[in-house]
A and B are shown apart, each in its own frame.
Chain A
Amino acid sequence: MEETPAIKLSGITKWYGSVQAVCSVNLDIRQGEFFSLLGPSGCGKTTTLRVIAGLESPTAGRVYLEGEDVTDVPPYRRNVNTVFQDYALFPHMTVEENIYFPLRMRKISRVEARPMIQEALALVNMSGFEKRYPHQLSGGQRQRIALARALVNRPKALLLDEPLGALDFKLRVAMQKVLKDIQRNVRITFVYVTHDQTEAITMSDRICVMKDGLIHQVGTSEEIYNSPSSIFVAGFIGDMNFMEGVVTERHGDEVVVDVNGFIIRSGRPMGNFVVGEKVMVCVRPEKICAQDVCNLEDMQRFDNRFQAVITRIVFRGNDYEITVGLGEASMRLIESASDFKGENEGDSLYVGFLKEDVLLYPLQAEEEKTHEQLD
């Protein structure tokens, strides 16, 4: 028998007036996992989180915490806590009083609470800040206090609503590590809302990608990165080359596509395609191998091989992003700084990639639009 999920959403739908924020979402979040809700702004991820917290009641559907239906339980009686985007620390209370607040609501005396507060502060590495007021703390410190306050009650699940959104890059990376360490230590289920795909990929055990209130894919970082279920996911997670083409042949799992006269073989069609159908061809830039001299033996292993002209070279610090033209289409590839051979724009380059690294998606009007938005 499978274990009871920490959080189960069943058919959650939320309307704000005539706007649908979330559309029949079903999710099982496992005990102790780091689960991310990922998507662009307005995709319904925050609404989903607020429904779990009880701050919004769903228009339809049920919410279960450890198997118990809590749909009609008010937020203050749900054993989950939230870290809000802008921390929501009480400005008139000291750090200590802020962390004492949830304990106080449970009628725990100040004396009893002291060691718990100390422990929570130690967990976020903020011991010694008890008497400070929130306005005397930096953004990162406030963030930690908000975390300590949400954890002090040992909730069944911790909900985090873009908690690092307001921090600068270096601090954000440092806090990602802190969060991950804390999650390993306390073994509480974390539900993490973010629009930052790198953050989601590096931190999560599993990710749920959402768009327009719908779930596009749920899976581990690797699953979502390597086998995106839709064009949207393919473009939203990581970097991706998109090229439109027409199916010319089909042999079992191998599909041959014509992209502006270039023949590309794909070993991973994401759908049942017929000859003549328009498709979107997707290849990750880092899967493309480049050589400036045609070394036949070395290129032999690639199912797709082309000679192309370099149209742009961008130095990015630890690597170079090289754009090559394929007829009217273009393709980006990555060459690490140590492999870079000093090519120039206008030089020709031999590029090759495996058919297993070529994904095909059906091309529909709506998804075409998505693709354009992403560019």
Chain B
Amino acid sequence: MNSSIENTCPGPKKSWNRALLQGLPIFMWMLLLILVPLAIMFVTSFFVKEGVQVVHRLTLRNYLEFFTNPIYLPIFFRTIFLALSVSLTALLLAYPLAFFISRKVTRFRSQLYMMVIVPLWISYLVRIVAWRTILGRVGVLNSLLLALGLIREPLPFLIYSPFAVYLTLIHIALPFVFISVFSSLEKIPSNLLDATSDLGANSFQTFRHVILPLSMPGVVSGFTLAFVIALGDYIIPQQLGGLNGLMFGNLIVSQFGYAFNWPLGAALGFIMFAVAVAILFFSQKLGSSEGFLE
């Protein structure tokens, strides 16, 4: 009699080829729509424009231009600074709102959520035009302040200034930050909050030791999203920024659009791309909490 139970199951199927086949469409998609254009841009950034001709000779001249021409570096750093301020402010505004709606409100929660999200339904360009009418010299805000007698003359810094760009970018980025913070707060099980309270933590301690750390993934992804949106934008500076509100994105656009210097534009674009990738990389490390809230 056979007393032991033998494992006669067939072994795992070697499905290497099948996995490869299944991954092929997504790989092709990535290749054609992301990697190939990036590679083309990267190679172009080493070409140079001489006269009206693009010379297909590899050189570092475009990158040298970025570091030596006094136009680029100040605007580059100003852009990074502005993008950081925008994403930080958006985060500071969105976090309390998301916290309030996700954890404190019991009625009309989804309606409140929708109200924050609703600007996303309106075209980006329309919203920019709206801000022009609000912030303009004879715009809504100035007219109101004048009518109330609070100011004698229209406030000059409201439009065509870095301030206008800052304000509008926050408006654009806010819903994205809100969504990611909200969803990470929403995921925190309420029994953890019962537990903190039971174990002797007041609401502030609960927030500091449990809610904030567990919402970090949402904070980081919201911050990154806002940063990338603000970093690359060129329409808002063009429409509302004036001369002082010029951003790095505008410089890139002008190389492609007006100067027809594609190699230099590609180089500048790649520098910005590198910054965005670096920020993404660091923030992913910071906000990683794999396996925590599954």
Chain A positions near chain B (C-beta within 8 angstroms): 53-55, 74-77, 80-82, 84-86, 88-92, 101-102, 104-106, 133, 135, 149-150, 153
Contacts and interface: CB of A to CB of B under 8 A. Distances in A.
Given A92-B214, A133-B291, A135-B291, A55 B201 contact: no
Contacts of B209: 90, 101, 104
A92 B213 contact: yes
Contacts of A153: 199-200
Interface in B179-220: 189, 191-192, 194-202, 205, 209-210, 213-214
A54 B202 CA distance: 13
A315 B11 CA distance: 38
Given A88-B189, A92-B292, A105-B205, A82 B198 contact: yes
B289 interface: yes
B197 A90 contact: no
Nearest to B203: A76
A89 B198 CA distance: 12
A76 B198 contact: yes
Contacts of A82: 194-195, 198
16 contacts: A55-B194, A55-B197, A81-B198, A88-B192, A88-B195, A90-B209, A90-B210, A91-B289, A91-B291, A92-B213, A101-B196, A101-B199, A102-B200, A105-B205, A135-B291, A135-B294
Given A88-B189, A90-B209, 7 more contacts: A53-B198, A74-B202, A75-B198, A91-B293, A92-B213, A101-B199, A135-B291
Given A91-B214, A92-B213, A92-B289, A105 B199 contact: yes
A102 B209 CA distance: 11
Contact of A55 (B189, B198, B213): B198
A235 B118 CA distance: 56
Nearest to B198: A82
A50 B164 CA distance: 52
Contacts of A84: 191, 194-195
B219 to A, nearest CB: 13
A224 B213 CA distance: 48
B287 to A, nearest CB: 12
Nearest to B209: A101
B199 to A, nearest CB: 4
Nearest to B195: A88
A114 B202 CA distance: 23
A145 to B, nearest CB: 12
Contacts of A89: 195
Contacts of B210: 90, 92
Contacts of B292: 91-92, 133, 135
Contacts of A104: 209
Interface string B94-119: 00000000000000000000000000
A100 to B, nearest CB: 10
Contact of A86 (B191, B198, B201, B205): B191
Contacts of B191: 84-86, 88
Interface centre among B191, B198, B202, B210 (most CB of A within 10 A): B198
A112 to B, nearest CB: 16
The 8 A-B residue pairs whose C-beta atoms are closest, nearest first, are A105-B200, A88-B195, A102-B199, A91-B292, A88-B191, A75-B197, A135-B291, A82-B198
A91 B195 CA distance: 12
Interface centre among A74, A86, A91 (most CB of B within 10 A): A91
Contacts of A55: 194, 197-198
Interface centre among B189, B192, B195 (most CB of A within 10 A): B195
A76 B200 contact: yes
A76 B194 contact: no
Nearest to A75: B197
B294 to A, nearest CB: 7
Contacts of B199: 76, 81, 101-102, 105, 149-150, 153
Contact of A76 (B201, B291, B294): B201
A133 B210 CA distance: 15
Contacts of A91: 214, 289, 291-293
Contacts of B194: 55, 82, 84, 88
A327 to B, nearest CB: 49
A77 B289 CA distance: 31
A114 to B, nearest CB: 18
B262 to A, nearest CB: 48
A7 to B, nearest CB: 15
A217 B189 CA distance: 35
A176 B197 CA distance: 26
A135 B291 CA distance: 7
Contacts of A150: 198-199
Interface string B271-294: 000000000000000000101111
A64 to B, nearest CB: 18
A172 to B, nearest CB: 20
Contacts of B205: 105
A95 to B, nearest CB: 14
A105 B294 contact: no
A57 to B, nearest CB: 12
A162 to B, nearest CB: 12
Contacts of A81: 198-199
B212 to A, nearest CB: 10
A90 B294 contact: no
Nearest to B201: A105
A74 B289 CA distance: 31
A91 B202 CA distance: 19
Nearest to A80: B198
Contacts of A86: 189, 191
Nearest to A91: B292
Contacts of B294: 135
A84 B198 CA distance: 10
Nearest to A152: B199
Interface centre among B195, B199, B289 (most CB of A within 10 A): B199
